[in-house]
Amino acid sequence: MLYVFDLERPEDAVPHLQHYLEISRNDVDTMFVLARAFFMLKNYQGALDLYDRIIILTTSDQKRIDAQNNRQMVLGQMYG
């Protein structure tokens, strides 16, 4: 899955990442990767939804900060 993503083929990685999140619903690391794939595919709302979910779920202050920063980057891309 990550191999496909690393080859810059996020469209191929998305279904695998989504499937994994169905199994492991609170895996914030996978959410970060999926959010990045959505961003690369210009699915900005999908990325925002995942960053919001990470912000709510994570117990790591650093991951929360990273998600908030990434969320701002997505919003900047959407609204310039």
pLDDT of 45 reads 97
pLDDT of 43 reads 97
Cα 8 from Cα 23, distance rounded (Å): 24
Domain ranges of the chain: 2-79
CA atoms within 13 A on the CB side of 4: 13
The encoded tokens of residue 50 equal 């995942």
**30: DSSP letter:** H
pLDDT along the chain (80 residues), means of 10: 66 92 96 94 97 98 98 94
Q: What is the CATH number of domain 2-79?
A: 1.25.40.10
pLDDT of 31 reads 96
pLDDT of 7 reads 61
Could you tell me which residues come within 8 angstroms of residue 30 by beta carbon, excluding any fewer than 6 positions away? 17, 20, 21, 24
pLDDT of 80 reads 80
